[in-house]
Chains A and B, each alone.
Chain A
């Protein structure tokens, strides 16, 4: 056995993806063989180079205004072709159902009439927006990009943990992780046939162009960011750069006569599709928060008039509501007439009286989650909570049971992770990204594997100190699936001794705006 993994053993309850008790699992055989030549010092040097390269490249995210390198573990996670095709089908199915559901919710509401899900579940959701009712997206797509979070349970089965169809983030790290690992571990990389991830921006651009308002031959697509103080700014910039399109802030936009224009050096230019990374509540002060400095007044009206497409659509958040999540298996059956490929994690609706009783009895053994939370916010893990915390939780639940769901503690699977000079088991999840262009839902092979760097920790969010792994989806023996002809990216439009003139860069952002940029990261942080 390679010295690298000597003494490695998984945790007792969780499924370890590399080792089954003492033996190596099949997908990792080749990886271990090719790592055999490396010693721990070799590896340590490469780990160091890896971290330095992320700082130099500025592959970072912000926590409370502090810019940090996004942690990347050196050992990739490997997923076999067959396992992946199951995930792929499951995600495609899920997205199809979510699209049908959102279209229904903001239109006829047939699903309520048929009694599949109560209407009150929707209208009491904090992410349901009447402003979106009746807006019909040009090619019918509302979920242009989605990130369906999966975990692998103690049996090794992938299950859906939550749906992110507002502004799922993290895809930039999938792309940068791949490049970083291929240069950190060129030998193992060469020994594998790994499905590429670099085609994502072209897929996304093609989907965004396909969603342009009818009759626009050569649409202008932009990415809308809250600004440099937003935690995911790195990602926004990377997507805009790799798609070859403009990255705009709200103040670069202006609505005139129901059209959205951007301010350029040559005057105003019309925008047709906005891939927005600004939350609903901040996007249009006319309809939402009047104090928002991040959006652009009039955007929603322009969308309603059919002059601009907002991707993802306004109001998608209802589908992210964890109470709606509990209905997803039924919704898949209802809209698609199929059985779900990927199961949910077992979940109690605390709002239901029977369930509530059981949940309250077993608070100390369950995980309690607020239905509109994200980024691991507000989650209470029963077995780890103090009695005082449980009492407080009970009070909160009784005050507002609609806002909670409960799940058994899922022992997320583990993958060997390099911490403090050796490999130890750390829990991981997986966020595959899917792009819907209206014809087909395409799933990026791999997705973002997030890893909890503290031993035994189950919350993997980077806002809680989580890291990531490169995720290798192995290709079959034939040719590596060629990616579809990418659509060409559109060309980008083209006092004397007194203090020196100083640029606006350091001073032009009021602290209010800075705060908003940071605050509005509620949705789908990774």
Chain B
């Protein structure tokens, strides 16, 4: 597979996931601000913006409207859902010949809501639902129509790395929120029922964090996502190594997952925001490693002798 196409597939996976997860995070937080009277709107909004990596000056006034503009609607803001959907479509356009027609159409029709103005006109709770539905459609179409070749592995790799990154942001926002954010956070992940069944109705913040970070069976948990990402890299490196890992991405993902799994939960929870930052840094480093390894096309060259 062409390096450039592999790169596009990887980023389609990431951007679609990013749009979806941003919608999930905003959904929880806007609900909380609305429902919990004790919440300081400005403080929550500042925190939300900073966790999502949006640029913010100390003197900037931040309220829900600003947050929605920066993180959802504004196609010029690098952290917005609109931008993520646009970028997913641009990546898809660049890899168009390798995508199935239904896959392309699912992405393209999603994107078209932005220039047509429909996206901007849809109000918050509806827009979040719409984004989740579109992402489900795109992911489902991919699942059903793509062969499990390299292109698929890169798409999944992008999706899983982004999901690990974004779940960690979700957990971080919950950790610093006042009020009782964990129930909403679980709901936003579509994890609430699964969580209740797993923990037999025993709702504690600690259990919720454990579920979102460490559950091995829940598909949006950090450990699950890292595991999947590792598997993808594994599949890409088909010639099995006897010892160690030559692939930097593999090493980074595996080490971080193991650290999460083997350290005591109390340890991780002690400084959750900081731990989550570390996780996000790992995702960024892994992306760099993947870029160097597969997308530059040069580093993966091995000596093949003089060409005949």
Contacts and interface: CB of A to CB of B under 8 A. Distances in A.
Interface in A260-295: 262-268
Interface residues of A, number: 43
Please list the 6 inter-chain residue pairs (A to B) with the smallest Cβ-Cβ separation, ordered nearest first.
Answer: A263-B297, A496-B277, A503-B11, A240-B97, A241-B97, A237-B96
Interface of B: 1-8, 10-11, 14-15, 18, 50-53, 55, 78-79, 87, 90-91, 93-94, 96-99, 101, 104-105, 108-109, 112, 149-150, 165, 236, 277-278, 280-281, 283-284, 287, 294-295, 297-298, 300-302, 304, 307
Contact of B2 (A241, A262, A506): A262
B11 A58 contact: no
A290 B92 CA distance: 31
Interface of A: 55-58, 223, 228, 233, 236-238, 240-241, 246-249, 251-252, 256-257, 259, 262-268, 492-506
A314 B79 CA distance: 46
Contacts of A228: 90, 93-94
Contacts of B2: 246, 248, 252, 262-265
A499 B6 CA distance: 23
B281 A492 contact: no
Given A228-B94, A265-B6, A503 B14 contact: yes
Contacts of B284: 495, 501
A57 B103 CA distance: 10
Nearest to B106: A56
Contact of A504 (B11, B98, B294): B11
A499 B87 CA distance: 16
A223 B98 CA distance: 13
Contacts of A247: 96-97
6 contacts: A58-B96, A241-B97, A265-B295, A499-B53, A499-B79, A505-B94
A497 B50 contact: yes
A259 B307 contact: yes
A155 B165 CA distance: 70
Q: Which of B50, B51, B150 has the most CB of A within 10 A?
A: B150
Nearest to B150: A494
A499 to B, nearest CB: 5
A57 B94 contact: no
Contacts of B8: 505
Contacts of A499: 53, 55, 78-79
Contacts of B50: 497
B53 A252 contact: no
A263 B10 CA distance: 17
B298 A502 contact: no
B1 A252 contact: no
